[in-house]
């Protein structure tokens, strides 16, 4: 069969089989036992031409409501943010996207240097000593942080704040089950981790406390106070953090975090129905040799020129096999590149301006909701999310909003029965004052 991806002609095939010394292709598969040989063709859809497939899938994509066409107030870990156009141009350079892991540094300096820069930017934002080259996503990064803490402290219990994203919380539990690590939920008070309850729960077997900053409900946790408490018991403080918020918020590294993880999706990475995004993993120097995944380091070549290589590989699966610090191999390199380009474009001032706009627009929404008679629960400091109490079910409200071109907030009743009829509203810099006003007005109308 002829196909634009398959260059072998009949003539080529004849010549090649001749060199191999067989007369038919089938002979090359003669080592597959007759009993298990698959006969015939897969029962799958027939091939489509380039334009027919484009057309079909363009049509299919239109069956999805997207955040270009709708004003989205849905966040809960994935956000509609400003994506500098330049990001997609850079990651579309196929020297980057068609390369494998940079195992041959002499012809991979571009990738290595770009990710070294990514590591630096994440370290700068989080205030940590160093960061790795990426993890799958924020949720698995948090789980791996918990595993690292347990291995490092040789303790078997993780305390997870009730204000950690419930989905990440679930991922932590799955990983912990594999390692026979106990996961205990820390209750909340006023939408933030209850310090007194935390203190009660910490014991000699507590490896770490895992908190989110800003937390799932948009509230800014007092990481320093949590770190002080867990450090007293010689456990680690693990913080999951939206890196955009760190444009304005005091970085976890300055508040006692031992490990800071999160997802760089807010930096130039599309929502993409939840993936691929880009987990990051940053630590203090003392945990450097326990970090999962790839690290890129600076060195010199035989003529003294500066260059970059994969380093400290004695932690990794291809060297250490069953004794590796993690099983991760492929990570999210291209999205780390995307995030690096976005962080570069925003730069020192842009991250602050964008983070500030998120806070101020959310603040504006909060006041508008209150003026319209809604209760905004949890009174602490917020970043770009607030919890709004409604009179009716959030799913009913969201259906009404959708009719008006708005994607409403996350229905918190789905994760916490006590928060039925509460919506988690995210307001990013993308939302205009008119859109916020419209949201409040429509919700007011639906809620009445």
Partner 1 sequence: MHNDNQPLIFELSTEGRIGYSLSELDVPAVDLGAILPSEFIRTEEAELPEVSELDIMRHYTALSRRNHGVDSGFYPLGSCTMKYNPKINEAIARFAGFANIHPLQDEATVQGALGLMYDLQEHLIEITGMDEVTLQPAAGAHGEWTALMMIRAFHEANGDFQRTKVLVPDSAHGTNPASATVAGFDTVTVKSDENGLVDLEDLRRLVGDDTAALMLTNPNTLGLFEEHILDIAAIVHEVGGKVYYDGANLNAVMSKARPGDMGFDCVHLNLHKTFTGPHGGGGPGSGPVGVKADLIPFLPKPVLVKTEEGYHFDYERPQSIGRVKPFYGNFGINVRAYAYIRSMGPDGLKTVTENAVINANYMMRRLEPYFDLPYNRHCKHEFVLSGSRQKKLGARTLDMAKRLLDFGYHPPTTYFPLNVEEGLMIEPTETESKETLDAFCDAMIQIAKEVEETPEVVQEAPHTTVIGRLDETRAARNPVLRYQKETVEV
Which parts of 2-21 interact with partner 1 (CB under 8 A)? Answer: 3, 5-8, 12-13, 15-17, 19-21
Nearer to ligand PLP, 83 or 277 (CB): 277
Binding residues with ligand PLP: total (CB under 6 A): 2
Report in angstroms how near the CB of residue 35 gets to partner 1 at its nearest.
6
Q: Which does 178 bind (CB under 5 to 8 A by kind): partner 1, ligand PLP, none?
A: partner 1
From the list 307, 391, 392, 405, which residue makes contact with partner 1 (rule: CB under 8 A)?
A: 307
The answer to the question of residue 391 lying near ligand PLP (CB under 6 A) is no
302, 417, 418, 448: which one binds partner 1 (CB under 8 A): 302
Using the minimum distance from each CB to partner 1, give the nearer residue, 105 or 187.
105
Nearer to partner 1 (CB atom), residue 174 or residue 392:
174
Choose the one of ligand PLP, partner 1, none that binds residue 36, judging by a C-beta under 5 to 8 angstroms depending on kind.
Answer: partner 1
- Decide: 158 and 177 in contact? Cβ < 8 Å: no
Q: How far is the CB of 391 from partner 1 (least distance, A)?
A: 20
Q: Give the C-alpha separation, 389 to 392, whole Å.
A: 9
Question: CB-wise, 44 or 204, nearer to partner 1?
Answer: 44
Q: For ligand PLP, give the closer residue by CB, 153 or 313.
A: 313
Distance CA 56, CA 218 (A): 40
As given in the structure block, the two tokens for residue 185 are 């939920």
d(CA 421, CA 335): 35
Q: Select from 319, 375, 403, 445 the one that contacts partner 1 (CB under 8 A).
A: 319
Positive or negative, the Cα torsion across 99, 307, 298, 346? negative
**Rounded Cα–Cα distance for residues 167 and 424 (Å):** 15
Phi, psi of 394 (to 5 degrees): -65, -35
Nearest CB to ligand PLP, comparing residues 316 and 442: 316
* H or E stretch at 24: none
Cβ proximity to partner 1: between 374 and 411 the closer is: 411
Which of partner 1, ligand PLP, none is residue 384 near (CB under 5 to 8 Å by kind)?
A: none
Strand positions, DSSP E, 187-241: 188-189, 192-193, 206-213, 236-241
- Rank residues 294 and 431 by Cβ distance to ligand PLP and give the closer one: 294
> Is 352 near partner 1 (CB under 8 A)?
yes
Question: Is 382 near partner 1 (CB under 8 A)?
Answer: yes
Measured distance between the N- and C-terminal CA atoms of the chain, rounded to whole angstroms: 64
Closest contact distance (angstroms) between CB of 286 and partner 1 is 13
Interface mask (CB under 6 A) for ligand PLP, residues 244-283, using x and -? ----------------------------------------
* Interacting residues with partner 1 between 52 and 71 (CB under 8 A): 53-54, 56-58, 60-69
Task: Show the tokens assigned to 339.
Answer: 């995030």
Using an 8 Å Cβ cutoff, are 175 and 169 in contact? Answer: no
- Name the residue nearer to ligand PLP (CB basis): 136 or 369: 136
CA 234 to chain centre: 28
Q: Judged by CB under 8 A, which of 71, 119, 237, 440 binds partner 1?
A: 119
Binding site partner of 402, from partner 1, ligand PLP, none, Cβ cut-off 5-8 A by kind = partner 1
Closest CA to 45 of 36, 33, 57: 57
- Interaction between residue 417 and partner 1 (CB under 8 A): no
Interface residues for partner 1 in 135-194 (CB under 8 A)? 136-140, 147, 165, 167-168, 170-171, 173-175, 177-180
At residue 231, the 3 state secondary structure works out as helix
Q: Which is nearer to partner 1, 66 or 234 (CB)?
A: 66
CB of 287 to partner 1, least distance (A): 12
Measured distance CA(362)–CA(376) in Å, rounded: 11
Structure tokens of 211? 């908190």
Among positions 323-342, residues that touch ligand PLP (CB under 6 A) are 329-330
- By CB under 8 A, is residue 403 in contact with partner 1? no
State how far the Cα of 406 lies from the Cα of 63, in Å rounded to an integer: 16
Q: Is 120 exposed, middle or buried (0-12, 13-18, 19+ CB in 10 A)?
A: middle
Q: Which residues pair with 389 in a beta bridge?
A: 375, 422
Distance CA(436)–CA(401), nearest Å, equals: 12
Residue 331 CB, shortest distance to ligand PLP, in Å, is 8
Q: Does 131 bind partner 1 (CB under 8 A)?
A: yes
How crowded is the C-beta side of 215, counted as CA atoms within 13 Å? Answer: 27
**DSSP SS3 for 426:** strand
304: left (phi over 0), alpha (psi -120 to 50) or beta: left
The token pair that represents 126 in the structure block? 């989080």
| Residues numbered 247-266 forming contacts with partner 1, rule: CB under 8 A | 247-251, 254
Chain residues binding ligand PLP by CB under 6 A are 329-330
């Amino acid at each position: 069969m002829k196909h634009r991806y398959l260059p072998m002609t009949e003539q080529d095939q004849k010549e090649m089989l001749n060199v191999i010394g067989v007369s038919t292709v089938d002979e090359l598969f003669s080592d597959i036992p007759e009993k298990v040989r698959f006969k015939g063709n897969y029962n799958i859809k027939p091939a489509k031409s380039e334009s027919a497939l484009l057309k079909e899938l363009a049509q299919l994509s239109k069956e999805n409501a997207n955040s270009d066409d709708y004003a989205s107030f849905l966040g809960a870990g994935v956000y509609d943010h400003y994506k500098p156009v330049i990001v997609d141009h850079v990651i579309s350079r196929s020297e980057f996207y068609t390369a494998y892991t940079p195992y041959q540094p002499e012809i991979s300096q571009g990738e290595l240097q770009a990710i070294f820069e990514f590591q630096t930017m994440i370290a700068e934002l989080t205030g940590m000593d160093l960061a790795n080259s990426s993890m799958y996503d924020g949720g698995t990064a948090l789980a791996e942080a918990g595993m690292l803490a347990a291995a490092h402290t040789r303790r078997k219990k993780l305390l997870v704040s009730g204000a950690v994203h419930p989905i990440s919380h679930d991922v932590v539990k799955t990983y912990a089950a594999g390692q026979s690590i106990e996961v205990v939920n820390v209750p909340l008070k006023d939408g933030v981790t209850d310090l007194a309850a935390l203190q009660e729960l910490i014991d000699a077997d507590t490896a770490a406390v895992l908190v989110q900053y800003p937390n799932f409900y948009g509230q800014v946790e007092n990481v320093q106070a949590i770190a002080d408490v867990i450090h007293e018991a010689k456990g680690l403080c693990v913080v999951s953090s939206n890196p955009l918020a760190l444009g304005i918020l005091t970085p976890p590294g300055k508040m006692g975090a031992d490990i800071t993880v999160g997802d760089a999706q807010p930096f130039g990475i599309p929502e993409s129905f939840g993936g691929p995004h880009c987990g990051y993993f940053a630590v203090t120097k003392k945990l450097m040799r326990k970090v999962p995944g790839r690290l890129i380091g600076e060195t010199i070549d035989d003529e003294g020129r500066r260059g970059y290589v994969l380093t400290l590989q004695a932690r990794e699966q291809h060297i250490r096999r069953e004794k590796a610090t993690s099983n991760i191999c492929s990570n999210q390199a291209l999205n780390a590149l995307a995030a690096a380009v976005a962080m570069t474009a925003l730069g020192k001032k842009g991250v602050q301006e964008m983070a500030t706009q998120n806070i101020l627009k959310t603040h504006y929404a909060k006041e508008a909701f209150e003026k319209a008679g809604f209760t905004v629960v949890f009174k602490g400091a917020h970043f770009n999310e607030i919890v709004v109490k409604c009179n009716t079910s959030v799913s009913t409200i969201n259906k009404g909003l959708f009719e008006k071109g708005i994607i409403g907030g996350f229905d918190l009743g789905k994760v916490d029965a006590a928060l039925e009829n509460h919506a988690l509203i995210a307001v990013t810099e993308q939302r205009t004052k008119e859109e916020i006003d419209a949201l409040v007005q429509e919700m007011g109308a639906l809620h009445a």
